A and B are shown apart, each in its own frame.
Chain A
Amino acid sequence: MTGEPSALDVWSDLPRVDRRTLALERVASAWLGPGPLGSLFVWLGALPGLDLALDRPEVDLRAAGIARPGLVAQLRLPRHGARLALGVEVPVAHAVVDHLLGFDRPFAERRLQLTPVEWGVWTYLVVRSLEEMRPNPGFSVDRVGPDPFDASGLGPIATIRWAVRAGETAGAVRLWLPESLAEAWLGAEPPPRTPKPHSPKLRELAADWRVVAGRVTTPRGGLGALRPGGVLPLTDPPLTGEPNAPVGPLFLVHRTDDGGERRIAVTVDPGSTRGAVVVSGPLVHEPSPDPGSQPAMPSDADAPLDAPVTLTVELGRINLPVSRLADLKPGDVLPLNRHGREPVELTSNGRAVARGELILIDEELGLRVTNVFL
C-alpha cells in the first residue's frame, strides 16, 4: 500500500469556494439592480455614445491584479475609516473616453498608456458617478491616475472583478477593498427576501415580527452624528441583565397596514445558545392614533440628518405564519433570525440605520454602535 495516495490526498485538490466568497458575490450582484450602483449605471448609460455592459461579478479573496497597469481611482469611506480602489483596465479606460470624445482608435493602439486628458475625463466620471449614487454611501475621491492602489495598512484585501464590454472593447473593472469592509457590507446588505404570494388578508399576519428592546435617542447632531464606537443608553424603557440576556419589557411587534401595531410581550430565552424569545403575554392590538387628534409630525426617515431622532432597538426578527400565530401561547419559544452574540439593529420606521452591540453601563444596558448604514 505504500506509495499509493490515500482517498484524502486524491480529493484534497478539488477546487473549493469559500462561503464568504459566495456571499460577497451575491452582494456585488445585487449592486447591479436597484440601489446605489444601479443609479450609477443609469447615469453612465445616459452619457452620449457610451455602450457599457457589465457581466456578473467574480470575487477573489486576495489582491488580484492590483499591480496591473490601468486607471486607478482610490476612494475613501470616512464613516468606516476605510480606503478602497476601483481599477479600470487600459483598453476599457481608453474605449470609454474614445466613445465620449468621438475618437476612432486603431486596435493596435488600445494598450498605449493613458493620457492626462483621459485621467481628467475619468476623474470627472468617477466624481459624478459617486454623486449620482442613491442613496449616497459617502465615498470621497482621493485620486484618479495610473499609480497602483496603495493597500498598505489595510489588512487582507478582497477583489471583486466584473468583465466589462465598452462598445467593442472587452476588459475588466476591479474593486479592491479591505476584507473588514467586505465583512461589514455582507452584514449590512443581506440578500433581498422574495415576498411570498399571500392573499392581502393573510399577508398582514404572515409577515416579519420584530423583537423590540426599547428605544434610543441619537446624540446631538442626529443621524449624522452616529459613529461606529459611539455609546447610546437604552432609555425607553431601560433594560437590565446581561447583554446576551437582557431583562425588561420586550415585545414582538408587527405594524399593520392601517398604522396600528400588534404586540406580544416576550422575554429572552436564557437557555438558548442561538437567539430565541419566550412568549410571556397575549396578542394585543393597538389601533393607530386618530390623525386628527395629534399634530402631524415628520417621520424619522424624512427628518434632516442633524435633527434628534428616536431609534428602535431590534434584537431580531421572526417570520410567523398565520397557523403558528393562532396557536401561540405563553411559554412558547420562538427562535430569532439572529444569534445571541450577533449585533442588534437600530431602525427607523423599520429601516436599519445602524448596527451595534449591547453593553453593560453600570447596572443598565446600553448600545455601542458598530456600523452605520446611512
Chain B
Amino acid sequence: MTTPSTNAAFELAALAWGSDSEDPRAEAALRRLGRAHREEARADLSRVHPTWLVRAVQDESPAVRAIVAGLGPPSVQAALRAAFGAPSSPDRRPHPEVLEWVLALWSERLVGGEPERDDDPPIIVALARLSPLEAYRLWHGVGRAKRRLAEDPGQAPEVRAWIQRDVETVDRAGFGPRRRTALLGLTTAARLLGDCEPFRSRWAVQHLPYPVVKRLRRFTPPAAKRSASISRLEARILRMVWKPLAREGKLATPFPNAVDREEP
C-alpha cells in the first residue's frame, strides 16, 4: 500500500468533508484516509532500535526511568534494563494518571509508519529492511566503491573532488579502516535521505543505532547545497553495489524494482 503524502491527504480530506456527503468518492476518500492514519499513527517499537528508547529517557529523572523500565512496554523495559541496569523497585505503585503521563512523555521523539510501502526509495528499503549484518555489507561495499571512484583517473575531476571530500571527512572520524569504509558508505545514505520525504526518512533512521544516526546527520548536506546530479550518482553507486550482493546471496532483499524501472 502507498500512504498518501501531505498534499494527497489534503485532497482526500477536501473530498471527504468538502463534497456532498452522498458522493461515493467522499466515502472512499474517508476510508482511505482512515486506513492511512491507522498505518502511520502507531509506532511499532519492535522496529525501533533500542538505543532510541534509551535516548528518549536518558535525561529523565531516575524515578521516571524506573517507572518506564519497570512498567513500560516489554521491548522498552529490556532496552532500558540493558542500558541502565535493573531499576530499583518503587515503594508503591505510581498513581495511574501519573503513570499514563510518564509512559506517554517518553515517546514524543518517535514516529509511526507502515512497514512496507510500494513507493519506498532504495535508501529507505536499505535502512528499514536489511538486517544489521546485511546493512554493514551494503555500506561497506558502497564505501569501497567510492574509494575506487575517488582514485579513478577516468572520472571527472569534480566527481573525484567531492568523493575525496567525503573520504577526508570520514578519515578524520578516527575509526579503524573497516569502520571508516562503512562510514564512507553511510555518507551516500545521508545524501540520499536528504532527498526523501522527511517523515519517512525519520521513520527509516529509527531502525539504526541512535549514535550512528547522529553521525549520519553530520554528513547530510543542507538543502541549499544539495545537487541533483550528485544524488543521481549516489543512487547509481548504491544500485551498482546492491545488485551483485543480492545475486551472491549476501543481501536477502533484492534491489527495489519500482525504482529500477524509473532508471534509464
Contact = CB atoms under 8 A, between A and B. Distances in A.
B57 interface: no
A47 B16 CA distance: 11
B18 interface: yes
Contact of B100 (A90, A107, A118): A107
Contacts of B40: 115-118
A203 interface: no
Interface string A100-129: 111101011111110111111101110010
Nearest to A94: B41
Given A69-B108, A108-B100, A103 B41 contact: yes
Interface in A68-110: 69, 90, 94, 97-98, 100-103, 105, 107-110
A145 interface: yes
B37 interface: yes
A120 B4 contact: yes
Given A101-B34, A103-B41, A115-B41, A120 B9 contact: yes
Contacts of B5: 116, 120
Interface string B1-24: 001111111111110011000000
B14 to A, nearest CB: 6
Interface in B98-119: 100, 103-105, 107-113
Contacts, number: 105
A118 B37 contact: yes
A113 B104 contact: no
B18 A97 contact: no
Contacts of B4: 116-117, 120
Contacts of B8: 120
B245 interface: no
Size bin of chain B's contact surface? 35 or more
B30 interface: yes
A103 B104 contact: no
Given A90-B108, A110-B104, A128 B199 contact: no
A98 B42 CA distance: 12
A123 B34 contact: no
Interface residues of A, number: 30
A124 B6 contact: no
B13 A115 contact: no
Interface in B29-57: 30, 33-34, 36-38, 40-43
A128 B3 contact: no
B104 A116 contact: no
A355 B9 CA distance: 42
A120 B41 contact: no
B146 to A, nearest CB: 32
Contacts of B113: 115
B197 interface: yes
B202 interface: yes
Contact of B10 (A107, A108, A111, A120): A120
A213 B4 CA distance: 59
Contact of A121 (B33, B104, B110): B33
Interface string A116-146: 1111110111001000000000000000010
A105 B41 contact: yes
Nearest to B9: A120
B104 A109 contact: yes
B30 to A, nearest CB: 7
Nearest to B72: A108
A264 B8 CA distance: 63
Contacts of B109: 113
A115 B6 CA distance: 8
Contacts of B10: 120-121, 123-124
Given A124-B13, A128-B18, A113 B34 contact: no
A113 B30 contact: no
B68 to A, nearest CB: 10
> Which of B6, B105, B108, B197 has most A Cβ within 10 Å?
B6
21 contacts: A98-B41, A101-B30, A101-B33, A107-B103, A108-B103, A109-B104, A109-B107, A110-B104, A111-B105, A111-B107, A112-B107, A112-B108, A112-B111, A112-B112, A117-B4, A118-B40, A120-B5, A120-B8, A120-B13, A123-B9, A128-B17
List the 6 shortest-distance A-B pairs measured between CB atoms, nearest first.
Answer: A120-B9, A124-B13, A115-B40, A111-B108, A120-B10, A101-B34
Given A113-B111, A117-B4, 9 more contacts: A101-B34, A103-B41, A111-B108, A112-B110, A112-B112, A115-B111, A116-B3, A120-B8, A121-B9
Interface of A: 47, 69, 90, 94, 97-98, 100-103, 105, 107-113, 115-121, 123-125, 128, 145
